[in-house]
Amino acid sequence: MLAEIRGLNEECGVFGIWGHDKAAELTYYGLHALQHRGQEGAGVVTTNGLELKLHKEQGLVNDVFKRVDFSKLSGHAAIGHVRYATQGERSIDNVQPLLFRSQTGSMALAHNGNIMNAYELRGELESAGSILQTSSDTEVLAHLLKRNGNMDTVSGLKDALGQLVGAYAFIILSETRMHVALDPKGLRPLSIGRLGDAYVVASETSAFDIIGAAYERDVLPGELITISDDGLESTRFALPQKRALCAMEYVYFSRPDSNLNEVNVHASRKRMGIELAKEAPVEADVVTGVPDSSISAAIGYAEQTGIPYEIGLIKNRYTGRTFIQPSQELREQGVKMKLSPVRAIVEGKRVIMIDDSIVRGTTCKRIVRMLKEAGAKEVHVRIASPSITNPCYYGIDMSTKEELIAANYSIDKICEIIGADSLAYLSSDGLERAIVSDDSIDQGVCMACMTGQYPVTKNGQLEISYTKC
Ligand code: AMP
Ligand code: SF4
């Protein structure tokens, strides 16, 4: 379902390019294709081999780059970032890339994920004399590198990355090199591609398609890649472990045209719908999906059951984001501005409404009501992922049990709360079957928020310690 409706957004997106004289412009296009991953701020850092130049602002990519003078951001390499922030963390200081200058050289960092031991590392760094500028966990890496001496050595990077616990996809730019690193379990998505002789790196392959780059491969868990004018060098800072790529990337966060770990997101969502139809069929007249992220699963559900897929809900694309929503009444109005039921399709019908997930339950409740007000005789809600009963400690905005409706109520009770005629979720086995499509590669996923089995802990502990990205 639409993140905008909830006034919440997804996590961050990173992009990098090495070896192209239009590096900054291409970063703009790449970030544009990652905009869905964060709308609070965006930025770019370029290098011309001698110095790093930064432009970052709060706002959407188009607005941020409208004010960029590309002639002043010349260079053959660049990294970029789109940022998601939770309430209270909206500060330009936390917008990335973060840029650090020192006498031994400069370094820019773009990060997606959450470093679970950032608080402890920050304490150690402060006791050793560091003064940190932001409340973001990302900055810790820069200080660890600086403490190791030169910020731009592979051995220093390996040592610093080895001290981090959590989920992270990093792109790091110095005057003369670009480093790319993925956490040892590969929780966050990160792919490498080529555009002619140039190398490109991005959270999602949708950023490659927009610039005409060809996908090469995914960055491996625990891999550190260094790209320079001498080419690409790969090394490991952690031993290979089974991959645990965030299943919610497939369920909701990523764009349907992206391939994550060689699995197309749309195709996996369609398979989720097929699995859901096998597990939880129900007699009805039409199947509809909540635009945009649930459409693929709704198509799969309809295909499997033979019940026609219809557009029962329309998304209004021109409402923009509603910034001021002071009352419940106005918030309700905000939803109506963004989604409308198609009365001619749902009136008098038994409707199967597919949504990708339920977090707090408010969106689903509003949509069920909307469909009923438009005359739907029955609304059967089918969720194309398992119930979310556990917080995420790896960078996704679901950090407390209190906010998760399924952590607090039974499925029957949730059905009653959202006003549906029936409610069913996809099983975790069904979700895994829908994602894993090629046995020849490790397509292992994290489903900790649904199963409680966390692939990474901090000495057996789980806690959010810092502003994540
Ligand atoms: P709600 O149940 O009202 O919290 O909204 C759930 C909807 O928000 C889902 O249908 C998804 O489309 C979307 N969503 C899922 N996870 C998240 C998340 N962590 N942050 C923002 N939106 C999300
Ligand atoms: Fe993704 Fe859930 Fe794992 Fe967090 S806990 S990384 S949201 S699957």
| Rounded-to-integer distance, Cα 40 and Cα 82, Å | 7
Per-residue pLDDT tens over the stretch 443-463:
999 999 999 999 999 877 776
209 and 136 in one domain?
Answer: yes
Q: How large a percentage of the chain has pLDDT more than 70?
A: 90
Place of tokens 């869905």: 36
* Contact status, residue 218 vs residue 192, Cβ threshold 8 Å: yes
42 in helix, strand or coil? strand
313 and 176 in one domain?
Answer: no
Read off the pLDDT of each residue in 293-308 and give the average, rounded to a whole number.
97
The residue to mutate among 39, 357, 370, having the most atoms of ligand 1 within 8 angstroms of its beta carbon, is 357
314 and 200 in one domain?
Answer: no
Per-residue pLDDT tens over the stretch 204-220:
999 999 999 999 999 99
Own/partner contacts of 60-69, CB < 8 Å, gap of 24 or more, are 60/35, 61/28, 61/31, 61/32, 61/35, 62/32, 65/28, 65/31, 68/24, 68/28, 68/44
Q: How large a percentage of the chain has pLDDT more than 90?
A: 70
The CATH number that applies at residue 267 is 3.40.50.2020
Mean of the per-residue pLDDT values of the chain: 90
Q: How far is the CA of 449 from the centre of ligand 2 (A)?
A: 5
Model confidence at 91, pLDDT cuts 50, 70, 90, reads: confident
* pTM of the full structure: 0.93
Q: How many Cα atoms are found within 13 Å in the side-chain-facing hemisphere of 275?
A: 23
| Rounded-to-integer distance, Cα 227 and Cα 197, Å | 12
**pLDDT score of 182 more than 60:** yes
294 and 213 in one domain?
Answer: no
What pLDDT is stored for residue 331 in this prediction?
55
Per-residue pLDDT tens over the stretch 239-294:
988 999 999 999 999 999 999 999 999 999 999 999 999 999 999 999 999 998 99
| Rounded-to-integer distance, Cα 331 and Cα 388, Å | 24
> Is 466 inside a domain boundary?
no
54 and 139 in one domain?
Answer: yes
**Six token digits for residue 244:** 């645990």
> Is 251 inside a domain boundary?
no
| Rounded-to-integer distance, Cα 14 and Cα 370, Å | 37
Per-residue pLDDT tens over the stretch 157-169:
999 999 999 999 9
**pLDDT score of 6 more than 60:** no
Model confidence at 338, pLDDT cuts 50, 70, 90, reads: confident
Sign of CA dihedral 461, 464, 466, 468: positive
* Ligand 1 touching residue 11 (CB < 6 A): no
Ligand nearest to the CA of 260: 2
> Is 160 inside a domain boundary?
yes
345 and 381 in one domain?
Answer: yes
Exposure string over 30-42, b if 16+ CB within 10 A, otherwise e: bbbbbbbbbbbbb
| Residue 237: other Cβ atoms inside 10 A | 21
The residue to mutate among 268, 394, 428, having the most atoms of ligand 2 within 8 angstroms of its beta carbon, is 394
Q: Which atom of ligand 2 is nearest to the CA of 455?
A: 3
The residue among 210, 242, 274 that closes a domain is 242
Ligand nearest to the CA of 418: 1
> Is 442 inside a domain boundary?
no
What pLDDT is stored for residue 347 in this prediction?
98
Strands 286-289 and 350-355: parallel
Model confidence at 326, pLDDT cuts 50, 70, 90, reads: very low
Task: List binding-site positions for Mg(2+).
Answer: 293, 355-356
381 and 339 in one domain?
Answer: yes
| Rounded-to-integer distance, Cα 417 and Cα 338, Å | 22
Per-residue pLDDT tens over the stretch 388-436:
999 999 988 887 899 899 999 999 999 999 999 999 999 999 999 999 9
The CA angle 216-394-107, to the nearest 5 degrees, is 60
Ligand nearest to the CA of 414: 1
The CATH number that applies at residue 145 is 3.60.20.10
Q: How far is the CA of 419 from the centre of ligand 2 (A)?
A: 28
**pLDDT score of 466 more than 70:** no
The residue among 217, 242, 267 that closes a domain is 242
Model confidence at 469, pLDDT cuts 50, 70, 90, reads: low
Residue nearest to atom 19 of ligand 1 (CA): 397
> Is pLDDT larger for residue 28 or for residue 130?
28
Measuring CA to CA, which residue among 450, 408, 412 is closest to residue 431? 450
Model confidence at 11, pLDDT cuts 50, 70, 90, reads: confident
The CA angle 215-219-224, to the nearest 5 degrees, is 135
> Is 304 inside a domain boundary?
yes
CA 128 to chain centre: 34
What pLDDT is stored for residue 1 in this prediction?
37
| Residue 122: other Cβ atoms inside 10 A | 20
What pLDDT is stored for residue 335 in this prediction?
60
Type of residue found at 422:
S
Q: How far is the CA of 395 from the centre of ligand 2 (A)?
A: 8
> Is pLDDT larger for residue 157 or for residue 323?
157
Pocket of ligand 2 (CB under 6 A): 187, 246-248, 392, 394, 396, 446-449
What pLDDT is stored for residue 93 in this prediction?
81
CA 441 to chain centre: 22
**pLDDT score of 3 more than 60:** no
Place of tokens 């993140």: 3
Q: How far is the CA of 407 from the centre of ligand 1 (A)?
A: 15
237 and 266 in one domain?
Answer: no
> Domain containing 352: what range?
259-434
Exposure string over 161-192, b if 16+ CB within 10 A, otherwise e: bebbbbbbbbbbbbbebbbbbbbbbbbbbbbb
Alpha-helical segments (H) within 50-153? 61-66, 118-127, 139-147
According to the per-residue pLDDT averaged within each range, which of 130-144, 287-301, 329-343 is highest? Answer: 287-301
**What are the distances in angstroms from CA 142 to CA 37, 80, 129, 184?**
23, 17, 14, 19
Q: List active site positions.
A: 12
CA 111 to chain centre: 12
31 and 6 in one domain?
Answer: yes
326 and 271 in one domain?
Answer: yes
| Residue 228: other Cβ atoms inside 10 A | 16
Type of residue found at 296:
S
Q: Which atom of ligand 1 is nearest to the CA of 355?
A: 10
206 and 135 in one domain?
Answer: yes
> Is 252 inside a domain boundary?
no
Q: Which atom of ligand 1 is nearest to the CA of 8?
A: 21
Q: How many domains does the chain have?
A: 2
Place of tokens 């090199």: 177
Alpha-carbon torsion angle 152, 158, 164, 165, nearest 10: 150
> Is 440 inside a domain boundary?
no
**Six token digits for residue 27:** 């970063």
> Is pLDDT larger for residue 260 or for residue 128?
260
What pLDDT is stored for residue 274 in this prediction?
98
What pLDDT is stored for residue 211 in this prediction?
97
Q: How far is the CA of 403 from the centre of ligand 1 (A)?
A: 11
What pLDDT is stored for residue 8 in this prediction?
33
| Rounded-to-integer distance, Cα 352 and Cα 358, Å | 16
Measuring CA to CA, which residue among 175, 213, 172, 173 is closest to residue 191? 213
**pLDDT score of 9 more than 50:** no
108 in helix, strand or coil? strand
Model confidence at 181, pLDDT cuts 50, 70, 90, reads: very high
Indicate the burial class of 399 (C-beta count within 10 angstroms; 0-12, 13-18, 19 or more).
middle
What pLDDT is stored for residue 330 in this prediction?
59
* Contact status, residue 15 vs residue 81, Cβ threshold 8 Å: yes
| Rounded-to-integer distance, Cα 15 and Cα 29, Å | 10
> Is pLDDT larger for residue 89 or for residue 76?
76
Strands 77-83 and 286-289: unpaired
112 and 44 in one domain?
Answer: yes
What pLDDT is stored for residue 81 in this prediction?
97
> Is 461 inside a domain boundary?
no
**Six token digits for residue 314:** 């329309």
168 in helix, strand or coil? strand
